[in-house]
Chains A and B, each alone.
Chain A
C-alpha cells in the first residue's frame, strides 16, 4: 500500500500544481476584476444628461442580470453550457478556456456582492474627504476606498477562493486533467478508490490549509491600522 501511495501522490500533486491551482488563481484574479467593476456599476449613481443616464441604467440592468444568473444556477450546469452547449451556437472553446471563463464569471458574481457590501460599509465621509482634496473618481477608489474595502472583504473573499479551489474538481467533467480526474484515473487502474480519493482529499486539505494561513497573515497585515478594541 505504501508503494501505491508513494507513486500516486506525486502524480496527484503534480496535477494540482499544473491545473487545479492555476485554474483557481487565474479565475479568481479575473473574477475579482469582474466583481469590482460589477460592484461599482451597481453602487454608483450616474451624473450627466439623459442619454448617459439611460445607458447607465441599461448597463446596470445587464450586470444585475448577470449576477442573478450565475448565483441562481449550479456551477456544474454552467460549465456544461459553456463547454458542451455553446458549440451549438458556433461558439467553441477548448476545455481550459471554457473552465476559466465559467469559473471567473461564477466567482465574479459572488465576489461582486461581497465587494459591494464592503464598499457600502464605508462611511460616505471617506468619499467626501477624498473628493474635497480634488481627487478624481479613480484616485478616490484606488487610494481611499479599495484599500479599506479590501480589509472588510478579505475574510469572505478568502472563503470564495478556498471554495473555488475545491470547485475546480468540477473541471474534471469537462475533460480537464486536474487532481480529481487524475485520482479517478488511477483508481480505475489499481482498484483502490478509497485510497485514491483519500489521497486527493488530503491534497485539497493541504492546499486549503496553506491558503488559510496566508489569509490570516494578510488579514493581520491589512488590519495594522485598526486599534484593538478597548485600547
Chain B
C-alpha cells in the first residue's frame, strides 16, 4: 500500500499540495482526476520523489519516509526502486536502442544479468506487439509505440507500483486507444497502478478507486461507482465540464 499523510508541497508562490492524506490500495488501479493545475502531477511526482514535499509522511510498502527532514540518498533510491514512472511524453533515452532503453534499469539498478534482462525485455516488447523494434532507436518510432515501450521500461523494473502521468495526452486518439488497452491489460492483471488522466472513459471502465484533486486538496477518494454517482456539486460540475 502507498499511504500519504498530511503531505504539503509549496512552490515559491503556489501551494501545490495542501495537507494531502490519501491511500492507494495494492493490486488496484487508482485514477487521479481533477482540473488543470490541481496538483495531480505534483502528487504523483511526490510519490517517487521527483518533487520533495516539505511536510508529511509517506508509507510505501515496508518503507516510511518523513518529508519534514531532508531524505538520505539511500531512502530516495529505496523509494524509487519500488515505483516506476510513465511520463506524458514518454522520455525514452534517444541515444539508446529500444532494447537498451528497457534493460538499462534492470542491468544497472537491479544488477540483473544482461542476458536475462534482454530476454525479459524482448518478452515485454512481445506483449505490447513491438518485438521487431528492439534494435531501433526511439526517434524512429511513433509516439504511441514509444509510449508502449516506456511502459515496458517501467515494467522491466518489477515495480511495486506503476505511476502514469497523463500517458496518452500527447497522442492521437487512435494511438491513445492502443496505449489505454495496454493499461487496461495491466490493471486486469492486478498490478498496483496510479494513473493521472483526463480520459473519463478510461476512469469509468478501469479505475477501482478515484481520487479527485482540486487546488492541491483531495476532495474525494472512493470507488469509481461512487464518484460517477456525482457525490458532490463540485464533482457533478466537473463531470459535466468534461462532456461537450
**A residues engaging B (CB < 8 A)?**
47-49, 125-126, 128-136, 139, 143-144, 147-148, 151, 224-227
Q: Which of A48, A133, A147 is the one whose CB lies under 8 Å from B84?
A: A133
Shortest distance in angstroms between A130's beta carbon and chain B's nearest beta carbon? 8
In the bound complex, residues from chain A placing their C-beta under 8 Å from that of B153 are: 133
Q: A128-B50, A151-B95 are in contact. Are A135 and B105 (CB under 8 A)?
A: yes
> How many angstroms between the C-alpha atoms of A47 and B73 in the bound complex?
10
Q: A128-B50, A129-B91, A132-B48 are in contact. Are A48 and B70 (CB under 8 A)?
A: yes
Question: Which stretch of B54-62, B75-83, B185-193 is in the interface?
Answer: B75-83
CB pair A139 B109 closer than 8 Å: yes
Least CB separation from A122: chain B residue: B94
CB pair B109 A125 closer than 8 Å: no
Tell me if B85 counts as interface (CB < 8 A to partner A).
Answer: yes
Q: Which of A129, A135, A148, A225 is the one whose CB lies under 8 Å from B108?
A: A135
Interface residues of B in 78-122 (CB under 8 A from A): 80-81, 83-85, 87, 89, 91-96, 104-105, 108-109
Interface residues of B in 29-73 (CB under 8 A from A): 48, 50, 70, 73
> How many angstroms between the C-alpha atoms of A131 and B104 in the bound complex?
12
Q: Which of A126, A147, A225 is the one whose CB lies under 8 Å from B91?
A: A126
CB pair B80 A134 closer than 8 Å: yes
Tell me if B213 counts as interface (CB < 8 A to partner A).
Answer: no
Shortest distance in angstroms between A55's beta carbon and chain B's nearest beta carbon? 15
> How many angstroms between the C-alpha atoms of A147 and B48 in the bound complex?
25
CB pair B87 A135 closer than 8 Å: no
Least CB separation from B97: chain A residue: A225
CB pair A144 B50 closer than 8 Å: no
CB pair B70 A49 closer than 8 Å: yes
Tell me if B157 counts as interface (CB < 8 A to partner A).
Answer: yes
Interface residues of B in 151-177 (CB under 8 A from A): 153, 157
CB pair B105 A134 closer than 8 Å: yes
Shortest distance in angstroms between B2's beta carbon and chain A's nearest beta carbon? 15
Tell me if B137 counts as interface (CB < 8 A to partner A).
Answer: yes
Shortest distance in angstroms between A141's beta carbon and chain B's nearest beta carbon? 12
Supplied contacts A135-B109, A136-B73, A139-B109, 14 more A-B pairs, CB within 8 Å: A126-B93, A128-B85, A129-B87, A131-B50, A132-B48, A134-B77, A134-B80, A134-B109, A135-B105, A139-B108, A143-B108, A224-B137, A225-B96, A227-B139
CB pair A131 B140 closer than 8 Å: no
> How many angstroms between the C-alpha atoms of A130 and B105 in the bound complex?
8
Size category of the B interface is 20 to 34
27 contacts between A and B (CB under 8 A): A47-B70, A48-B70, A49-B70, A125-B89, A126-B93, A129-B92, A129-B93, A130-B93, A132-B50, A132-B80, A133-B153, A133-B157, A134-B77, A134-B105, A135-B109, A143-B93, A143-B104, A148-B94, A148-B95, A151-B95, A224-B137, A225-B94, A225-B95, A225-B137, A226-B94, A227-B137, A227-B139
CB pair B87 A128 closer than 8 Å: yes
In the bound complex, residues from chain B placing their C-beta under 8 Å from that of A148 are: 93-95
> How many angstroms between the C-alpha atoms of A128 and B84 in the bound complex?
11
Shortest distance in angstroms between A53's beta carbon and chain B's nearest beta carbon? 11
| A-B complex: 10 closest residue pairs judged by Cβ atoms | A129-B91, A133-B105, A132-B85, A227-B139, A225-B137, A134-B80, A134-B81, A134-B109, A125-B91, A147-B95
In the bound complex, residues from chain A placing their C-beta under 8 Å from that of B87 are: 125, 128-129
In the bound complex, residues from chain B placing their C-beta under 8 Å from that of A225 are: 94-96, 137-139
Shortest distance in angstroms between A36's beta carbon and chain B's nearest beta carbon? 17
In the bound complex, residues from chain A placing their C-beta under 8 Å from that of B140 are: 227
Q: Mark B116-156, 1 if CB is under 8 A from A, else 0.
A: 00000000000000000000011110000000000001000
In the bound complex, residues from chain B placing their C-beta under 8 Å from that of A47 are: 70
In the bound complex, residues from chain A placing their C-beta under 8 Å from that of B91 are: 125-126, 128-129
CB pair B157 A136 closer than 8 Å: no
Shortest distance in angstroms between B23's beta carbon and chain A's nearest beta carbon? 22
Least CB separation from B110: chain A residue: A134
In the bound complex, residues from chain B placing their C-beta under 8 Å from that of A134 are: 77, 80-81, 105, 109, 157
